[in-house]
């Protein structure tokens, strides 16, 4: 016959195990988004080419070790190189950035094929799509990322 006193230690061990499993699961969930951010933002890094009407435009995106993405633009036809992008945000499939030097904003989406499809607003809105620029884009297809 099992007495009530014999069940308590087993129940206590089981409850401790469940608590530990819950803590491990919670810690994993807390750490997961930050590792996804760094990994996925890094995948957007690379060089892209696009056309703004007749002008060629180059977009250079870099991700640091923390996953923060920064960028610059070149306008080879105008002889402009390294124009700083600011306020770069990636939210799901959406990407936005500003270019303060020319008072412009780009808004678009990340395509499964690695393209950035969007619009350039500099007083008037024009289509400006970017495709990975050949050998300089080594990260593979773009992935959605968290802010």
Structure tokens at 97: 């950035």
86-91 and 104-110 as β-strands: parallel, antiparallel, unpaired?
A: unpaired
Q: Residue 34 has what pLDDT?
A: 34
Collapsed DSSP state (helix, strand, coil) of residue 143? coil
Collapsed DSSP state (helix, strand, coil) of residue 109? strand
Structure tokens at 115: 């393209």
Smallest Cα–Cα separation from 80: which of 112, 51, 102, 113?
102
Structure tokens at 25: 């699961």
Q: Where are the domains of the chain?
A: 1-147
Which phi-psi region, left, alpha or beta, contains residue 87 (left: φ > 0; alpha: ψ -120 to 50)? left
Give dist(CA 128, CA 123) in Å, integer. 14
1-147: CATH, from 2.30.30, 2.40.128, 1.20.1740, 1.10.10: 2.40.128
Q: Whole-model pTM? A: 0.65
**pLDDT (tens digit, 9 = 90+) per residue, 95-126?**
999 999 999 999 999 999 999 999 999 999 99
**pLDDT (tens digit, 9 = 90+) per residue, 38-90?**
334 447 889 999 999 999 999 999 999 888 999 999 999 999 999 999 999 99
The per-type count for the chain, helices as H runs and strands as E runs, is 1, 10
Residues β-bridged to residue 89: 96
Higher pLDDT, 68 or 21: 68
């Amino acid at each position: 016959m099992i007495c009530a006193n014999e069940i308590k230690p087993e129940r206590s061990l089981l409850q401790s195990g469940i608590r530990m499993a819950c803590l491990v699961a919670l810690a994993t969930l807390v750490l997961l988004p930050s590792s996804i951010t760094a990994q996925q933002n890094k995948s957007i890094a690379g060089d892209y080419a696009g056309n703004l009407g007749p002008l060629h435009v180059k977009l250079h995106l870099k991700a640091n070790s923390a996953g923060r993405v920064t960028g610059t633009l070149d306008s080879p036809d105008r002889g402009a190189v390294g124009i700083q992008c600011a306020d770069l945000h990636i939210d799901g499939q959406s990407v936005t950035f500003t270019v303060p030097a020319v008072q412009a904003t780009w808004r678009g989406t990340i395509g499964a094929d690695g393209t950035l499809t969007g619009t350039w607003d500099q007083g008037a809105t024009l289509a400006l799509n970017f495709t990975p620029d050949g050998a300089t884009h080594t990260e593979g297809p773009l992935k959605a990322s968290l802010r």
